[in-house]
Amino acid sequence: MTSEEHSATGSALDEPAATAGALPARHRVVQWATGGVGRAAIQAVRDHPELDLVACWVHSSDKVGVDAGVIAGIEALGVPATDDVEAILALDADCVVYAPLLPDPAEVARLLRSGKNVVTPVGWFHRSPGDEALEEAAREGGSTLHGTGIDPGGISDVFPLMLSAMSSATTFVRAEEFSDIRSYNAPDVVRQIMCFGGTPEAAMEGPMLGLLTGGFAQSIRLILDGMGFDPSAEIRTSQQVAVATEPIDSPAGVIEPGQVAGQRFCWEAVIDDQPVVRVAVNWLMGTEHLDPAWTLGAAGERYEIEVQGDPDLFVTLKGMQPETPEAGWERNPGVVATANHCVNSIPYVVRAYPGIRTYLDLPVIAGRAHPRFARRS
């Protein structure tokens, strides 16, 4: 939606983009950064019947001038990558898929102020103190900011909220990931930021808990808000590590005995000293030669969602982890799902009222049919 259209609407979401039987409007999309999520997003935009990729911003000078499709590992799309921020800001575009490794709020504010909506997997799943500058930038630009993804930003908030609609008088909500981290094709991140292969002391003192807490705490706040829990709930965090007892081979290199080979992070919302929401991740370098002897359990890699109420509900989600660690380095379904969630939200975000908009402000976001079966008239 243009700035003028955004400003004219007085509701969180405008009228549907198309009447029954009519082709929907098309939206011009910019891809910002081309890591794993960014590359998958380029393909998702190509396959989405309502979207056109018109620009691609890259950090690396080696990628400047290279076609975005080639960077993504697909056919050329006629969109050369650029590192010219000013050119992106001046471009006529409806939405930016903002997917750097770490967010830059000032950068996002400039995009919003230029009239471009922003969808991102790196934050803003829920409004937080300190977001006032971004709200102001969005109002100035008549634009919308929406954080989404998979974990956080999907499994850890929207799925539990949807499942909770089938229960009553809920007392506890849990969303938990169980993954073999060997499948994550970002060796520098795994070793230098996540601290796998380092000492337990380095991992416990490292940046990962702080980096993760921003997003997962927002997911918890979204559940508390959406389900009517007391918003004054305290959020407690915890971290545990396991070390290798023998050398563990991985695509990111060998993890030697005594080095970190497993990590667990947990966030709990507590009311009257009772946990009411728990979000957790379990990341292991395989399930052998660990101390403590952690495993992924009989169900293997998965996501679990639990709602305790009337009745109790429990869901296991499979398919978002690769079949083998090596397959994950070729194409990781979790990374693809993260990108898809961002891309599929674009038509809804473009029609939303300016500001930071969460799942609670938008309708149910749906994917689109394969181009072979998409609406033709």
346/153: higher pLDDT = 346
Examine residue 311 and say whether the peptide bond preceding it is cis (omega within 30 degrees of 0): yes
Residues 343 and 287 in one domain: no
Residues 165 and 222 in one domain: yes
Examine residue 292 and say whether the peptide bond preceding it is cis (omega within 30 degrees of 0): yes
**Which position has the token pair 């081979």?**
249
Tens of pLDDT, residues 100-121: 988 999 999 999 999 999 999 9
Mean pLDDT over 290-306 rounds to: 96
> How many CA atoms are closer than 13 Å to the CA of 42, on its beta-carbon side?
28
Tally the domains of the chain.
2
Residues 120 and 8 in one domain: yes
Predicted confidence band at 18 (pLDDT cuts at 50, 70, 90)?
A: very low
The DSSP element (H or E) to which 96 belongs, if any, is: strand 95-98
| Cα–Cα distance for residue pair 149/307, rounded to 1 Å | 21
Residues 287 and 168 in one domain: yes
375/203: higher pLDDT = 203
Predicted confidence band at 204 (pLDDT cuts at 50, 70, 90)?
A: very high
Residues 110 and 230 in one domain: no
pLDDT averaged over the chain? 92
- Going through 225-318 in order, the beta strands assigned E by DSSP cover 234-244, 260-271, 274-284, 290-291, 302-308, 313-317
Predicted confidence band at 155 (pLDDT cuts at 50, 70, 90)?
A: very high
Tens of pLDDT, residues 326-346: 899 889 999 999 999 999 999
Please report whether residue 308 resides in a domain: yes
Please report whether residue 43 resides in a domain: yes
> Contact at 8 Å (CB) between 47 and 373?
no
DSSP category for residue 95: E
Mean pLDDT over 142-163 rounds to: 95
Query: Checking DSSP bridges between strand 27-32 and strand 95-98, what pairing results, if any?
Result: parallel
pLDDT at residue 10, as a whole number: 40
Please report whether residue 301 resides in a domain: yes
The DSSP element (H or E) to which 220 belongs, if any, is: helix 208-227
Please report whether residue 264 resides in a domain: yes
Task: Write out the residue range of the structural domain in which residue 235 sits.
Answer: 158-319
> Contact at 8 Å (CB) between 18 and 43?
no
Please report whether residue 24 resides in a domain: yes
For residue 11, pLDDT over 60 is answered with: no
Residues 141 and 165 in one domain: no
Predicted confidence band at 23 (pLDDT cuts at 50, 70, 90)?
A: low
325/259: higher pLDDT = 259
| Cα–Cα distance for residue pair 328/322, rounded to 1 Å | 5
pLDDT at residue 373, as a whole number: 87
pLDDT at residue 16, as a whole number: 45
Mean pLDDT over 137-153 rounds to: 96
> Contact at 8 Å (CB) between 316 and 117?
no
Residues 187 and 43 in one domain: no
Phi-psi region of 286 (alpha: psi -120 to 50; beta: other; left: phi over 0): left
For residue 170, pLDDT over 90 is answered with: yes
**High-pLDDT (> 90) share of the chain, %:** 84
Tens of pLDDT, residues 222-279: 999 999 999 999 999 999 999 999 999 988 889 999 999 999 999 999 999 999 999 9
Q: For residue 49, give Cα distances in angstroms to 34, 91, 371.
A: 22, 21, 7
Residues 100 and 193 in one domain: no
Please report whether residue 324 resides in a domain: no
pLDDT at residue 140, as a whole number: 97
Mean pLDDT over 357-372 rounds to: 92
Tens of pLDDT, residues 118-139: 999 999 999 999 999 999 999 9
- The amino acid present at 138, given as its one-letter code, is A
Residues 126 and 39 in one domain: yes
Residues 80 and 169 in one domain: no
Please report whether residue 327 resides in a domain: no
Give which of 352, 143, 125, 353 is closest to 134, Cα–Cα.
143
Predicted confidence band at 13 (pLDDT cuts at 50, 70, 90)?
A: low
Q: What is the CATH number of the domain that holds 346?
A: 3.40.50.720
Work out the number of other CB atoms within 10 angstroms of the CB of residue 369.
11
* Secondary structure of 61-89 as H, E, C letters: HHHCCCEHHHHCCCCCCCCECECCHHHHH
pLDDT at residue 210, as a whole number: 93
Mean pLDDT over 76-93 rounds to: 98
DSSP category for residue 171: -
Residues 284 and 357 in one domain: no
For residue 22, pLDDT over 80 is answered with: no
Cα angle vertex 64, ends 62, 67, to 5°? 110
Tens of pLDDT, residues 62-84: 999 999 999 999 999 999 999 99
Residues 47 and 130 in one domain: yes
Residues 6+ apart with CB under 8 A from 126: 147, 157, 218, 219, 221, 222, 225, 358
For residue 287, pLDDT over 90 is answered with: yes
Predicted confidence band at 377 (pLDDT cuts at 50, 70, 90)?
A: low
Please report whether residue 325 resides in a domain: no
